[in-house]
Chain A
Amino acid sequence: MTALLEITDLWAGYGRQQVLQGINLHVDEGEVAVILGANGAGKTTTMRAISGMIERRGSVLFQGTAIGAASPDHIVHAGIAQVPQGRGTFTDLTVEDNLRAGAFVRKNTNDSIDTDIRQWFEVFPRLAERRLQKAGSLSGGEQQMLAIARALMSKPTLLLCDEPSLGLAPIITQELFDVLGRLNAQDGLSILIVEQNANLALRIAHQVFVLETGTITASGTPSEIAQNDTVRKAYLGF
């Protein structure tokens, strides 16, 4: 098993405030890794550091290439797509243009992009019905589906999801994790998810990391993590 993404001693923050204090984690090829963490633990900072959206120090290897100092557009080109927290929808663009926006880095002809857009409309029929509506008029759940489809339009090797369950009804969250699980199981997509909603996330995870105030305090398989008393109390509630 080779690590697709290997992060060693990553420091990042905003201005002089260091949020991440030397974290280590890895995502293996074809696996789902989950970072559990409470508010303020540094989950979003981790995601933004991987995508190159903020200043960071330390080593980030993706498929053996160092991307720890690359700009966001280079990182997308390398094959990492992120669904940011709060979904990051292009609210003034139509649903269809949002998907086209996701394919920005692709050199393909419009035909193959159109084919992929049609495919996503089959996966999410609600989006097809609203293809010419502004994305800002969609419900939270629909926007989250759109955000995932948009990120995958770039044909990434690794998908980053920043708290996809945030602000969604439980039944929608369930549907969402089903979709993510299927993408992993059927298409072999590697995924890194940060979540507070441990129950659902652990169900599709292969590897779990617990992030507390900027450091990884525990890691292991979902069953190992579920046996860890502190983690169980903090995130699973039993």
Chain B
Amino acid sequence: MGDILQYFLNGLARGSIYSLVALGLVVIYQGTGHLNFAQGEMSLFATFGAWWFNDHGVPLWLSILLAASFAFVGGGAIEFGLIRPAAKKSPFAVVVVTIGLFQAFNSLSGLLFKGAATGLSFGTIFPNKPNDFFRLPGGAVWRYENIGVLVTVLIITALLFTLFRKTKVGLAMRMVANNADSAKLSGVPTNKVLMLSWGLATAIGTIGCALVAGINTNVSLGTMFGVFLLASAAAILGGLDSPLGAVVGGLSLGVIESFVTNYPKDWWASTYIGADTATAAAFVIILVVLLVRPSGLFGSARVERV
């Protein structure tokens, strides 16, 4: 019993990071229909920036906030300077540009930050000494760091939902997402909204990446590969145009991954199923979900009465 709770809590921590990165993907996708393949590496680059600030004496929490702010501006600038001109040509051009950006940001990180390939040590903003945990009934432990990560993600999600539901900017974002032509005809400067979406997504991704780096205690060129893969899977599982879906998709993938990695230890199948199959198992589940619900768990199947 305690084990199951433990696997669940571990999964929740990891899953909350997938949720955050997935949210970034959804914010861009619902406005533009583009999947930003470079999201992980753009955030990674900004996280190296946070490491640099921290290395130069800036407190870690402030370093992360600074990096996220730069990511916000940089994300907007990339939309304006690279994505928008490409989108005018064709949607495929955008795919190529984001793949190019993926390579470019990874290489740039390696070039600018010495030791990035092997990993630079990265602190955490949460207490993570060996005995920083709650003991729960049944012997499970809930580490303060995992609680901190989960709470951070929930706060950011809540803020994002407030932005979407309660503000004029959020209304404009939902308008553009739903019907870009009508949004223009209602006076929404759609280009500004798209720039804002890219900025927001990159900033959110940066916080996600900094949290991963904190858990791993280091940041390297490979930090985001696996995380981004599972986050994009989470976004697709949730339905690419649903922020709620991204959160639910991320959390469930984290939990599934944790169970598949750990549970078979005390089970006859341990020979066949283990840590290496965790990602594969997650993808099998996604495949099944998408066969039944092609638009994802919370995605909108666009049905319209005429």
Q: Which residues of A contact B (CB under 8 A)?
A: 51, 53, 71-73, 76-77, 81-82, 84, 86, 88-93, 97, 100-102, 104-105, 136-140, 143, 150-151, 154, 167
Interface contact B306-A140, CB-CB below 8 Å: yes
Given A91-B304, A136-B304, A140-B305, decide whether A105 and B171 contact each other with a Cβ distance below 8 A: no
CB nearest neighbor in B for A74:
B187
Which of B181, B183, B186 has the largest number of chain A CB atoms within 10 A? B186
Closest B residue to A139 by beta carbon equals: B305
- Which B residues fall within an 8 A CB radius of A? 168, 171-172, 174-175, 177-179, 181-190, 300, 302-306
Q: How far is the CA of A138 from the CA of B184 in the complex (A)?
A: 22
The 10 A-B residue pairs with the shortest CB-CB distance, nearest first, are A76-B187, A105-B187, A88-B182, A72-B184, A73-B187, A90-B178, A92-B178, A73-B189, A82-B185, A104-B186
Q: Number of contacts between A and B (CB, 8 Å)?
A: 80
Smallest CB separation, A134 vs chain B (Å): 9
* Minimal beta-carbon separation of A216 from chain B (angstroms): 24
Report yes or no: B185 in contact with A51, Cβ–Cβ below 8 A. Answer: yes
Taking CB atoms, residues of chain A closer than 8 Å to B181 are 53, 84, 88
| Chain B residue contacts of A97, Cβ below 8 A | 171, 174
A73 in contact with B188 given A88-B179, A91-B179, A104-B168 (CB within 8 Å): yes
Contact present for B305 and A104 (CB under 8 Å): no
Given contacts A97-B171, A136-B305, contact A104 B188 (CB under 8 A): yes
Find the A residue at minimum CB distance from B303: A136
Chain B interface, DSSP helix/strand/loop, else mixed = helix
CA distance A46 to B90 in the complex (A): 25
Kindly list 9 other residue pairs between chains A and B, CB separation below 8 angstroms, not including A82-B185, A84-B185, A101-B182: A51-B185, A53-B181, A53-B184, A89-B182, A91-B302, A104-B175, A105-B187, A136-B303, A138-B305
In the complex with contacts A72-B184, A82-B185, A167-B178 CB distance below 8 A: no
Nearest Cβ distance between residue B272 and chain A, in whole angstroms? 44
Q: How far is it, in angstroms, between the C-alpha of A97 and the C-alpha of B173 when the chains are bound?
A: 12
Assembled-state Cα–Cα distance A92/B305 (Å): 12
A90-B300 contact in complex given A76-B187, A137-B305, A139-B305, C-beta closer than 8 Å:
no
The answer for the CA separation of A105 and B172 in the assembled complex, in Å, is 11
Q: Which A residues lie within 8 Å of B184 (CB)?
A: 51, 53, 72-73
Question: Do A92 and B300 have beta carbons less than 8 Å apart?
Answer: yes
> Taking the nearest CB of chain B, how far is it from the CB of A167, in angstroms?
6
* Nearest opposing residue in chain A for B191, CB measure: A71
Nearest-neighbour CB distance to chain A for B56, whole angstroms, equals 42
Does A93 contact B178, Cβ atoms closer than 8 Å? yes
User: A72–B187 contact, CB under 8 A?
Assistant: yes
**Chain A residue with the shortest CB-CB distance to B175:** A101
Q: Contacts A53-B181, A104-B168 hold; do A154 and B186 have CB atoms under 8 A apart?
A: yes
A76–B185 alpha-carbon span in the complex (Å): 7
Min CB gap B33→A, angstroms: 14
| Inter-chain contact A93/B174, CB cutoff 8 Å | yes
Q: What are 25 residue pairs bridging A and B, where the CB atoms are less than 8 Å apart in the complex?
A: A51-B185, A53-B181, A53-B184, A73-B189, A76-B186, A81-B186, A84-B182, A88-B185, A89-B179, A90-B174, A90-B175, A90-B178, A90-B179, A90-B182, A101-B171, A101-B175, A101-B186, A104-B168, A104-B186, A105-B187, A138-B305, A140-B306, A143-B305, A151-B185, A154-B187
Residues on A with beta carbons closer than 8 Å to the beta carbon of B185: 51, 53, 72, 76, 81-82, 84, 88, 151
